[in-house]
Amino acid sequence: MALPPVLNFSEHATKDRVSTDIKTTSAEFAEADPERLALHQKALELSKKEGISYDAAVSRCL
């Protein structure tokens, strides 16, 4: 007797659903450490420029 297929109803992030026009302003991070905010901005730019993940970009910026 075979089990029925498992259905997964959770949401998954995919490349075709990502929004590339999201703009993050520093006002959203008003309480953030300026050095961390600079790292965040640099990582976002590197991620977009080189087509790598945000995590990989942060690692390269450190």
pLDDT at residue 61, as a whole number: 93
Segment 33-51, tens digit of pLDDT: 888 888 998 999 999 999 9
Q: Enter the pTM of the model.
A: 0.54
Query: SS3 letters for 25-57?
Result: CHHHHCCCCHHHHHHHHHHHHHHHHHCCCHHHH
pLDDT at residue 50, as a whole number: 94
